A and B are shown apart, each in its own frame.
Chain A
Amino acid sequence: MMHPHTGSLAINATDLHKRFVLHLQGGLELDVLRGANLMVRPGECIALIGPSGAGKSSLMRALYGNYRIDSGTIQIAHDGTMVDIASASPAEILAVRQRSLGYVSQFLRAIPRLSALDVVASSAIARGIDESQARRQAAAMLERLRIPSALHTLPPITFSGGEQQRVNLARSFICDWPTLLLDEPTASLDPTSRDTVCDLIAEACERGSAIVAIVHDPALRDRIADRSVRLENGATLEETLA
């Protein structure tokens, strides 16, 4: 069994617990994380696996600071130090998300009027890339993900599910994220686009990105992941070689 070295980590999450209290359902309590742990080194791709409802997406949202956890620590590498997302201020979390931590959800959420090209370019511009260069890179990334240039000027709200997912992926892969979280990155993609996403993941890891991806398909997992981490009932189990 392979263990990451603790010297240089991109993510070090320990003993995460998260309980939802649903006040509109009479105070129903749902324990979605019950002792989740995750260590990821730069350059490593981890597959999060496990049955639906096991807490994979909840863990990913906790890592991003979207779900507020009840206990545990979430250290994320940022500007040469480790920042604990669980106790960081809103401004600190935004700074980590701006420069160090990317997240691709399953669904595209964008400003209604923005064109696909602007959606993708704006993420590079937000990270300090010059506007004209960002637009060139955005066009190249969209082409690579097989969004034809005729569609670049249209708002992605009119696109198919697979096209929207590719715009969403382009928006993240245009930036060099030190750490990147991918929630089912190929769920609605055709085989060719899937291959491209596998290449993009491999290239990012090659550059030193740490990647955590929720993957259901064992074949895809074997292609992209260095390790798998299994979740069951909100807890991480043994790490297996991919």
Chain B
Amino acid sequence: MSLLLQAQGLNKRFQSVDALDDVSLTVSRREILAVVGESGSGKSTLLATLAGLQSADSGRITYYGADRPQDIGDMDEMQLRRLQRTQWGFIHQNARAALRLDVSAGGNIGERLMMNGARDYGEIRETAARWLDEVEIGRERIDEMPLNFSGGMLQRLQIAATLVTSPELVFMDEPTTGLDVSVQARVLDLIRNLVHKLDVATIIVTHDLGVARLLADRTVVMQGGAIVEHGLTDQVLDDPQHPYTQLLVSSVLPS
């Protein structure tokens, strides 16, 4: 397993609160890492920081991309943007805010392809159609505006629009939170199949331990901006050692 992303000693303070407290972690190629914790534990701040959407007060993030290791902090705005739209992807909790609702479903997918240099209209349309099938929306809806799509469909469209360019690393922020329980399983199953099929490394932030169990190879547990426990997902969930992890695990209602 070769290293893809490494964070060392990330710190971030919001007024008097430690949002990130000396956070270090690694993600390897094709690995799925879950970051779990309650609201306010710093997990979304960590994700946004790793993805270059906000900066840390101190610490270093290194991306081991195709050619050579790159320090995210050393990149200018242009280089970072290019990385974010070519080799990375970000799936937001709120698909409605991430997508363009006044552009057709196919257009939302095609846009990312065009940002990556695709120019042939027929090819773009065919790729978008294939992806609409892939995420179980169906190619027949390619010209529909997503305005009237259900929450689950919007999330699946966001997944298609992100994965269409086969990024190496995808950041997911609570991708199933806010969806009906019956829809959650479908979206999770889809994410699981696609990340395995495309061999894409994934960092997924979730408060739902079941999501971590289903998707993640490894899990880190955050509390008060710090990582308090990490390990293989089944180790962390079946043999939790930190008091906070024990509390999280014991708070889950058995199904």
B-side contacts of A90, CB under 8 Å? 217-218, 231-232
Query: Across the two chains, which residue of chain B brings its CB closest to A23?
Result: B243
Chain A nearest CB, measured from B2 CB (Å) = 10
- B212-255 vs A, Cβ < 8 Å mask (1 yes, 0 no): 00100110000000000001101100110111001100100000
B19-34 CB mask vs A (1 if < 8 Å, else 0) is: 0000000001001000
Q: Is the C-beta of A91 less than 8 angstroms from some C-beta in chain B?
A: yes
Majority secondary structure of chain B interface residues (helix, strand, loop or mixed): helix
Name the distance in Å between A106's Cβ and chain B's nearest Cβ. 13
Chain A residue numbers with a CB within 8 Å of B115 are none
- Residues of B close to A21: CB separation below 8 A: 241
Nearest CB of A to B85, in Å: 29
User: Hey, which chain B residues are within 8 Å of A94, CB to CB?
Assistant: 217, 232
Interchain residue pairs with CB less than 8 A apart (22): A21-B241, A22-B246, A23-B242, A23-B243, A23-B247, A24-B247, A61-B238, A65-B232, A65-B235, A66-B234, A66-B235, A66-B239, A67-B238, A67-B239, A68-B231, A68-B239, A90-B217, A91-B1, A91-B28, A111-B188, A111-B189, A114-B189
Kindly state whether residue A136 has any CB partner on chain B within 8 Å: no
- Contacts from B to A (Cβ < 8 Å): 1, 28, 31, 185-186, 188-189, 192, 214, 217-218, 231-232, 234-235, 238-239, 241-243, 246-247, 250
Residues of A within 8 A of B247 (CB): 23-24
CA distance A61 to B250 in the complex (A): 19
Please indicate the chain B residues that have their CB under 8 angstroms from the CB of A20 in the complex. 239
Q: How far is the CA of A70 from the CA of B142 in the complex (A)?
A: 56
Beta-carbon contacts under 8 Å, A20-71 to B: 20-24, 61, 65-68
A68 to B229, CA, bound (A): 13
B39 shortest CB reach to chain A, Å: 20
Contacts of B246 in A (CB 8 A): 22-24
Q: Which residue of A61, A68, A91, A111 is within 8 Å of B214 (Cβ)? A: A111
**Residues of A contacting B243 with CB < 8 Å?**
23-24
A127 close to B (CB within 8 Å):
no
Contacts of B188 in A (CB 8 A): 111
A183 to chain B, nearest CB (A): 13
Residues on the B chain within 8 Å of A154, using CB: none
Q: Please, which residues of chain A bring their CB within 8 A of the CB of B241?
A: 21, 68
Bound-state CA distance A94–B234 (Å) is 11
The reply on A113 being an interface residue by CB < 8 A is yes
List, in ascending order, chain B residues with CB within 8 A of A24's CB.
243, 246-247, 250
Residues of A within 8 A of B185 (CB): 111-113
Within the assembled complex, what's the spacing in Å between the Cα atoms of A24 and B31? 32
Taking A23-B242, A68-B231 as given, write out 6 further A-B residue pairs in contact, using a Cβ cutoff of 8 Å, ordered by the A residue number. Answer: A66-B238, A90-B231, A90-B232, A91-B28, A93-B232, A113-B189
Query: Contacts of A113 on B, CB cut-off 8 Å?
Result: 185-186, 189
